[in-house]
Amino acid sequence: MEITLLGTGSPLPDPRRGGPATLVRAGGQTILVDAGRAVVMRLAGAGTLPVLLNAVLITHLHSDHITDLNDVITSHWVMTGIETPLNVYGPPGTQTVVDGILMMLAPDISYRLAHHTDTLTYKPKVVVTEVKPGATFAIGDVQVKVARTHHQPVEPTVAFRLEHDGKSVVLGGDGIPCDTLDEICAGADAYVQTVIREDLVKLVKNKRFLDILDYHSTVEQAAQTATKAGIKKLILTHYVPSMQPGQEDEWRAFAAKYFDGEIVLGDDLTTTTI
């Protein structure tokens, strides 16, 4: 099972980091989790394309996690040779978001159909499955479990656990520690968590920025969750504030206070295998 941090940025624009997105390859399946800024560019950097995706999983409907879902949909559509569905799984509300994206794309869709009359005779086909905590489903031979996470007032938000051939990874999305996250993480090989540096956030005396402290895991909290669950590899992403070059060891040290396993972090396209 191969895990690639496609985008490690946050809602704040960063020229070096795309928006939140993670790629999981397992058992011949290629699965995208969240679709932040520049995700299609990062997919290309990881050696794949939207047309090669078997599924897209959405943890929640915050704009920074779905802002480039429209690009995934369009790129998938125009690169297909025959009508091919793009399978999207996400919490309740995902269908409304996808319907809105397709409405926004309606002029572009009409232009392309009018121009490519011999080779493009079908509209984008996006098959949305809205999943609730406790749901299970399969993407090829990859088994997926869904659990509730705590990112209120964003509701609902979910984590996904992907399992294949005895290996497992949990993608926690945004949120703070909670019992249901502990449960889905229990015994997993790897845990991908978005994190903030509380000490650095508090240096910014802006109320709107400080508000993020109450609904995002700190580096330390992610490490504590990993230790409690018996995780082997902790993978950190969605760095707030943006992790600067040369700060990697500093961020890793905050996690190492509470977790003695392998800690993975870095730039976009950082890849690890379990």
pLDDT for 19-39, tens place per residue? 999 999 999 999 999 999 999
Q: For residue 270, is it within any domain?
A: no
pLDDT at position 113, please? 96
User: In the chain, how many domains are there?
Assistant: 1
Q: Residue 272 domain-assigned?
A: no
Q: DSSP string of the chain?
A: -EEEEEE---SS-BTTBPSSEEEEEETTEEEEE---TTHHHHHHHTT--GGG-SEEE-S---HHHHTTHHHHHHHHHHT-SS--PEEEEESTTHHHHHHHHHHHTHHHHHHHHHH-TTT--S---EEEEE--TT-EEEETTEEEEEEE-BBTTB-S-EEEEEEETTEEEEE--S-B--HHHHHHHTT-SEEEEEEE-HHHHTTS--HHHHGGGGSS-BHHHHHHHHHHHT-SEEEEEEEESPPPTT-HHHHHHHHHTT--SEEE--STTEEEE-
pLDDT of residue 231: 98
pTM tops 0.85, yes or no: yes
Does some domain include residue 20? yes
- At 209 the pLDDT is 84
Q: What is the pLDDT of residue 206?
A: 87
In a domain, 212, yes or no: yes
Q: What is the pLDDT of residue 15?
A: 94
Does residue 271 fall inside a structural domain? no
pLDDT at 168: 98
What is the percent of the chain with per-residue pLDDT over 70, rounded to a whole number?
A: 100
Residue ranges making up the domain that contains 257: 2-265
| Residue 274 located in a structural domain | no
- Return the pLDDT at 53: 98
- Look up 268 and say whether it is catalytic: no
186-217 pLDDT, tens per residue? 999 999 999 999 898 888 888 888 888 888 99
In a domain, 273, yes or no: no
Spell out, as residue ranges, where the chain has pLDDT lower than 70.
none
Q: Quote the pLDDT of residue 208.
A: 86
Give pLDDT, residue 210. Answer: 85
List 34, 64, 68, 268, catalytic entry: 64
Give the domain CATH number at 148. Answer: 3.60.15.10
Domain-embedded: residue 116? yes
